[in-house]
Chain A
């Protein structure tokens, strides 16, 4: 009401204000925009935004901005109620300009986020590729997978450790079960447990997270059962240490120097403790096979351990080790996508170079 009164006095510059439902959201939000003359920019002290739900209801101040912005997102609206907005610009403590919406804005929820269309397309294409190769794998059982040095070395490491009469230490890192590398690590653990059972060797798994511990117990037991030696399985070899990063590192270091494992596996997600574990493992003369998707820790594993599964190699490991045709099929699908992406990158670079297509590829891959 105050606004209308002031406008009637005719001393203030009118401002064009627009309000629309914020697109692609879960409702409860209206975006208000207005125009400011560029000559005002230095003078503006504050901008007040008012909201009134319908005629007759008094307006309420929803936000004060202290910068010459021209957009405000009101995240406190109720859906399906028409709102009007008013914007008042102050300069030197005086009202300088004022405006209000002429059309009501109604916020609502949307069923599809169009901004993520390209993500959806990419995901669909990828999934279709994977599905196709999973289907094909049912018939084509002899898929070739190149040698992955770190995985080839698993059997040898377990064997040599057993010959020396030493246990095997398997470290799953700091990942939770909700991290994909941890699930990948379990697949490798199963192979290690299987081999260890064959050789009658002890597998020690100190854990950082209790659920990972449970999953590791199940996995090792399964490995021992598959090797036909369930009698050798000892659940107390797979135990929880602590969920403190360096407390865990201190504890695992202690296990290394006292139990002197012949083979150390560092597989999973790691942070700065990676090098502490790898160097201690080296100092006791164990064969070490590491693997992680933590890009920042890869250099240290490369430097300090005998074999390293680099990033994606870890994910390929489960398929590689299980030799399950369906899993191998997904690897094939992954490779095709890789080739296609390489071509797309080259194509995108060439289109940028020669200014062809008006950045169509680049825009397709922008998510914001």
Chain B
């Protein structure tokens, strides 16, 4: 018995790796989700989008890249599901050049599921350098920044864009933020043009954005994987984020279990040495 307990202090790392892998894979395979009461700020964001009249124009900004994809991509997909199912029209652009292909992928995937037509129901503008300048100039006139979309189609040949001249025609901006672009959206988009903004952010940068919500400068902030899962719950879909919530909990508990086991072994070993 004592010998067995001593062994607990030196478990092979591969055994730990296997446990972590299984703790991730099994909950995902079972597709089990956790009943979690959505955070009030996520509910507020959801209700704002719900309240938009049909065929309103909404805008989404891709301000992240592959490293923050696990948290923000599910948020983007949930937002697109929400928008297209309510027949809102979507304009996508972004400030992180390497993130745009990720945004485009999701846009085309979800638009395909709802049989939406490019140029009529959604538009992908792409990237232009200069964060603050882009945001300010869009508020004056979209055409000063984007004379054409990502594929060099003049934007006036796109039916959707013919109705959009500046932020006045846009009912919402969803900024998906892994860095500081969210500050620029608030400082220029909201402060100068009263653009209604919801920010979706990585767990790490969420605390930086909460003050904007408290000051009513943004409608709401959706934070991290938890926020994305809450949004999916409200939409009634089981996406990557909801599926991720159970493995999150399970792996944390598995790690705690290993810490405890290690200490049992360690303490037994230390007693035995004395």
In the assembled complex, which residues on chain A have CB atoms less than 8 Å from the CB atom of B193?
66
Is A128 located at the chain interface by the 8 A CB criterion?
A: no
Residue of A nearest to B193 (CB): A66
In the assembled complex, which residues on chain B have CB atoms less than 8 Å from the CB atom of A67?
191-192, 194
Is A250 located at the chain interface by the 8 A CB criterion?
A: no
Q: Which of A51-90 contact B (CB under 8 A)?
A: 63, 65-67, 69
Q: Is the CB of B13 within 8 A of A66?
A: no
CA–CA, A63 and B191, complex, Å: 13
CA–CA, A343 and B21, complex, Å: 51
Encode B183-221 as 1/0 by CB contact (under 8 A) with A: 000000001111000000000000000000000000000
**Residue of A63, A65, A66, A69 most packed against chain B (CB within 10 A):** A66
CA–CA, A67 and B192, complex, Å: 7
Q: Is the CB of A65 within 8 A of B192?
A: yes
Is A38 located at the chain interface by the 8 A CB criterion?
A: no
In the assembled complex, which residues on chain B have CB atoms less than 8 Å from the CB atom of A283?
13
Encode B6-31 as 1/0 by CB contact (under 8 A) with A: 00000001000000000000000000
Residue of B nearest to A66 (CB): B194
Encode A118-147 as 1/0 by CB contact (under 8 A) with B: 000000000000000000000000000000
Report the minimal beta-carbon distance from B99 to chain A, rounded to whole angstroms: 16
Residue of B nearest to A63 (CB): B192
Residue of A nearest to B168 (CB): A66
CA–CA, A65 and B13, complex, Å: 60
In the assembled complex, which residues on chain B have CB atoms less than 8 Å from the CB atom of A66?
192-194
Report the minimal beta-carbon distance from A60 to chain B, rounded to whole angstroms: 14
CA–CA, A84 and B193, complex, Å: 24
CA–CA, A63 and B137, complex, Å: 11
In the assembled complex, which residues on chain A have CB atoms less than 8 Å from the CB atom of B192?
63, 65-67
Q: Which of A153-187 contact B (CB under 8 A)?
A: none
Report the minimal beta-carbon distance from A44 to chain B, rounded to whole angstroms: 11
Report the minimal beta-carbon distance from B270 to chain A, rounded to whole angstroms: 19
Report the minimal beta-carbon distance from A49 to chain B, rounded to whole angstroms: 12
CA–CA, A63 and B13, complex, Å: 63
Residue of A nearest to B140 (CB): A64
Residues of B within 8 A of A (CB): 13, 191-194
Residues of A within 8 A of B (CB): 63, 65-67, 69, 283
| 7 new A-B contacts at CB < 8 Å, known A63-B192, A65-B192, A67-B191 | A66-B192, A66-B193, A66-B194, A67-B192, A67-B194, A69-B191, A283-B13
Task: Give 10 closest A-B pairs by Cβ, nearest first.
Answer: A66-B194, A66-B193, A67-B194, A65-B192, A283-B13, A67-B191, A66-B192, A67-B192, A69-B191, A63-B192
Would you mind naming 10 contact pairs between A and B with Cβ atoms under 8 Å apart? A63-B192, A65-B192, A66-B192, A66-B193, A66-B194, A67-B191, A67-B192, A67-B194, A69-B191, A283-B13
